[in-house]
Amino acid sequence: MPKTTALPAQEFLEKASETATRVLDQVRDMTDVVGRHAATLIPALQPEQAMAAMREAVAAFSRPPASLAQDAQAYATDAAQRLVMFWDVMREAGNNFVEHEKAGCPPVLFFDYVTVIDGRSLSRPVNYALVRITPPDGYRAPDPKLRPFVIIDPRAGHGAGIGGFKSDSQVGVALRRGHPVYFVIFYREPEKDQTILDVTAAEAIFLTRIAQDHPDAPKPVVIGNCQGGWASMMLGAAAPDAVGALVLNGAPLSYWAGEKGRNPMRYLGGLAGGGWPASLLADLGNGKFDGASLVSNFESLSPGATWFRKYFDLYAKIDTEAPRFLEFERWWGGYFLMTRDEIRWIVDNLFIGNRFSTGQISSGGGETFNMREVKAPIVVFASSGDNITPVGQALRWIADVYRDEQEIKSLGQTIVYLLHDQIGHLGIFVSGAIAKKEHTEIANTLDLIESMSPGLYEMKITGHDGTGGNEEWQVELVERSIADIRTLSGEVGNEAFPAVAKISEMNQNFYDVVVSPVVRQFATESAAEARRQASPMRMRRYMLSDMNPWMMPVRAMANMARQHRTPAARDNPFLAVEKAWADGVERSLDAYRDMRDAWSEIAFHAIYGGLAASGVTGDDSAEEAEAARRSVSLEPAQLNDARGRVEVGGYAEAVIRMMILLADARGGVRRNRLARSNTLLTTEPPFAGMSPAARQAMIREQTVIVTLLREEALAAVPKLLASAAERRKALTAVEHVAGPDDELGDKARAMLGRLREVLGLQPKPAAA
């Protein structure tokens, strides 16, 4: 008779206790989620705001009946004219869409350009190309010795060009400073069987060509917008020696991060059952995924703004708003395609698997992309008003990749993040105000960042001064910690997200084995194209274009309305009612959105949190092993190396070490001090004779020494300076960079005093 092995009581109790703890944690999470949404929804359902707006509108009717009759007539004429002109602008937008599609959806760049490399001609062809921007008249000629700028736009449903579709843009900022500017564009149709890894390899070839064309220039800055941001990080990890700096704008590198009660987009994959719907749509598209589906999801995130407000604003301001509307609609209405492999890679690795920041993405040949391999400085720009890439998704990868801020320093990495408090996702790329301020200051500070000690910093733009109409923003880089990143990241440790990844993998396997072969068997290119053309995103634009015969009279009627245009007076009470009505419609749509998002988040945590708590999705041993691997300390080997080099060097090492000690004590540095430091390290001997790479290597080495052996590094400074004259010269240089003592903080002033003490020198007397 076979023996049955009983589970030991101790092990049973431990497992029962662990399960109970998980269930209690899940109950707390659900209570937290429900409480947050209740606190948001209940006040939003109160009618006070709508009633106040309506009372204000009604108060405007306290006029004599004759005046009200005149106001009514003026409003009726104005409203009718605006309505006809509105539909004519919509007709023009529809015609632009049709023409744009027929032309193959070319980039919407404001600037002319010359194609340098067409990726379709590479050995592994991709639908990407490298183009060089041609400066318009009135711009300075690009200096080939200045650092090139390379901009990678998002390929997330739309076409390329949003980073340069108007003069005040990322392209315009770099051109005005005299930099050569390159843009990575892409075509509507992907090449057969192209993959994300093929795209990364092509972009590495682009950087090689730029280096050949600019042999005397520093390594290029690579700017990645949204999806282009994680593409830039992959490029930086794959070709670390080809990149001079990375700028990531609204890039979702840690998709699980976010705040409960907000950021609903991260739940969509779980509520759809994983990534298999994207594969189904690609199979129905005969191997191509239609970007219109992604754009439709983006619009549904803010229905009040995208479904109603932008059209009402066009109607209300029809005399001035049409050019801006048509300009943006040209990009928003351009839908691009991806291969099945591309969309599945994105969904599995980013949206569902969150594998990017944990180093689990394969780079081919058994290797994985390791974010620690990125050697170039990284600048991250995110906004609290961004509901597509919230701050947590933009920053959490830093805490996933690095154990603490000391490890960032010991690895010689420099990471700077910049936060905005309200701009939306698209505003990060398209806002002229953002281009003039944040993007301009990032560009102005990039060269200086390379001369500062490695570490984690927040860029603070606090104000501006200037004369003659030229604004100079005050920029300060403040040291931050990994704890700060975790605070900004919101929720990341919930077990529901790993449960989604496991359920998605099971559903995807079932789809691949059972469903996909059948769908592919019946899919044809003609049927796929017919399905794409019939999508609501395209059809509504076709219906408003001249393809629809019912739109033919609109143009003539609009011309007549423009010729006899008689706008109503601004104080017309009927305009106040119109505005109150529009505000009410937008609030209603936003209330629907909030209720939908609340139920979505509650359902997500109830389903996947419950599965994880009950152990249905298995344990998290793989995740724990990965976390343990990342937490392994590398300090012993580095400590021995640092100890062996603490007394090695001369004047150059001493000056850099002293500046690092001061910066570390100060906890931050303003740009004017960085500028003085950069001048010292690039124009004065012995630094002037060094290559940029040699200077950066010395800064990294001295940062590691100061980080691991702070007191020993300070005590050894005199041993690096052979004579009293050298010591005085070094201290004078450092004092010049630091500025007057009374402008330093207490800690920096104390450190400067200690440096003077170990060098046996006193401060120079103040000039008369």
482 and 398 in contact (C-beta within 8 Å)?
A: yes
Closest by CA to 247, choosing from 387, 458, 416, 448, is 416
Residue 54: predicted pLDDT? 63
Residue with tokens 């409203």: 79
The average pLDDT across 266-295 equals 91
Please tell me the pTM assigned to this model.
0.87
Per-residue pLDDT at 625? 41
In the block, which residue shows the tokens 């001295």? 702
Average pLDDT over residues 27-38: 68
Q: Are 204 and 238 in contact (CB under 8 A)?
A: yes
Judged by average pLDDT, the poorest of 218-222, 354-358, 754-758 is 354-358
In this predicted structure, the answer to whether residue 207 has a pLDDT above a threshold of 90 is yes
* pLDDT above 50 (res 215): yes
List C-alpha distances in Å: 365 to 283, 369, 714: 27, 11, 45
**pLDDT value of residue 24:** 67
Q: Which of 103-107, 130-134, 183-187, 267-271 has the lowest mean pLDDT?
A: 267-271
CATH topology of domain 117-256+370-489: Rossmann fold (3.40.50)
Q: For strands 128-134 and 378-383, give the pairing.
A: unpaired
pLDDT in tens, 540-574: 999 999 999 999 899 999 999 999 999 999 888 88
| Interacting residues of 724 by C-beta distance below 8 A, sequence separation 6+ | 760
pLDDT range class, residue 270, cuts 50, 70, 90: confident
Write out the two tokens for 312: 């009402």
222, two tokens: 């690579």
Q: Mean pLDDT, to the nearest integer, of 388-404? A: 89
pLDDT surpasses 80 at 197: yes
Closest by CA position to 110, among listed 131, 135, 73, 86: 135
pLDDT at residue 165 greater than cutoff 80:
no
The region of weakest confidence among 33-37, 118-122, 229-233, 280-284 is: 33-37
With 60 as the cut, is the pLDDT of residue 649 above it?
yes
pLDDT digits (tens, 9 = 90+) for 597-631: 888 888 888 888 888 777 766 554 444 444 444 44
Question: Residue 71 phi/psi, 5° resolution?
Answer: -60, -40
Percent residues over pLDDT 70 in the chain:
86
Q: What is the pLDDT of residue 632?
A: 44
The pLDDT of residue 45 is 56
Is a pLDDT exceeding 70 seen at residue 445?
A: yes
- Nearest alpha carbon to residue 386 among 509, 475, 260, 263: 263
Say what the pLDDT of residue 747 is.
85
Residue 240: half-sphere exposure toward Cβ, Cα within 13 Å? 13
156 vs 547, residue with greater confidence: 547
- Burial status of residue 260 (CB atoms within 10 A of its CB: 0-12, 13-18, 19 or more): middle
| Strand 128-134 relative to strand 181-186, pairing | antiparallel
683 CA to centre of own chain: 35
Q: How far is the C-alpha of 676 from the C-alpha of 672, rounded, in Å?
A: 6
Question: What pLDDT is stored for residue 372 in this prediction?
Answer: 83
pLDDT the model gives residue 20: 63
More confident residue, 370 or 764: 370
Given a cut of 70, whether residue 142 has pLDDT beyond it is yes
Helices 65-102 and 573-604 sit at what angle, rounded to 10 degrees? 50
User: Which H or E run includes 437?
Assistant: none
C-beta separation of 154 from 122 below 8 A: no
Across the chain, mean pLDDT equals 85
pLDDT (0 to 100) of residue 320: 94
Is the confidence at residue 499, as pLDDT, over 60?
Answer: yes
- pLDDT band for 515, please (50, 70, 90 cuts): very high
Q: Tell me, what's the pLDDT at 533?
A: 93
Lowest mean pLDDT segment, chosen from 10-14, 229-233, 371-375, 542-546: 10-14
Q: What mean pLDDT do residues 657-665 have?
A: 87
pLDDT of residue 741: 75
Domain ranges of the chain: 117-256+370-489, 635-759
- For residue 25, the model assigns a pLDDT of 67
Between the alpha carbon of residue 22 and those of residues 188, 197, 416, 492, 588, the distances in Å are 47, 38, 37, 16, 38
Residues 335-373: tens digit of each pLDDT: 999 999 999 999 888 888 888 777 777 776 667 778 888
* Helical residues (DSSP H) of 439-494, grouped into ranges: 440-449, 482-489
The predicted model gives 44-72 an average pLDDT of: 71
| pLDDT confidence of residue 206 | 96
Mean pLDDT over 312-334 rounds to: 92
CB contact at 8 A, 235 and 207 = yes
When pLDDT is averaged across residues 688-707 and rounded to a whole number, the result is 85
Residue 55 has pLDDT above 90, yes or no: no
Structure token pair of residue 50: 């709508």
What residue spans of 605-709 are helical by DSSP H? Answer: 610-613, 621-631, 635-645, 651-666, 671-683, 692-708
pLDDT at site 26: 66
Q: Please tell me the least confidently modeled range out of 164-168, 458-462, 558-562, 707-711.
A: 164-168
Residue 456 has pLDDT above 80, yes or no: yes
Structure tokens at 422: 């309200």
| Mean pLDDT, residues 645-664 | 88
Q: Which residues pair with 131 in a beta bridge?
A: 115, 183
pLDDT of residue 117: 97
Does residue 260 carry a pLDDT above 90?
no
Q: Which pLDDT value is given to residue 312?
A: 96
Residue 365 falls in which region: left (phi positive, over 0), alpha (psi -120 to 50) or beta:
left
Give the model's confidence band at 470: pLDDT under 50 very low, under 70 low, under 90 confident, else very high.
very low
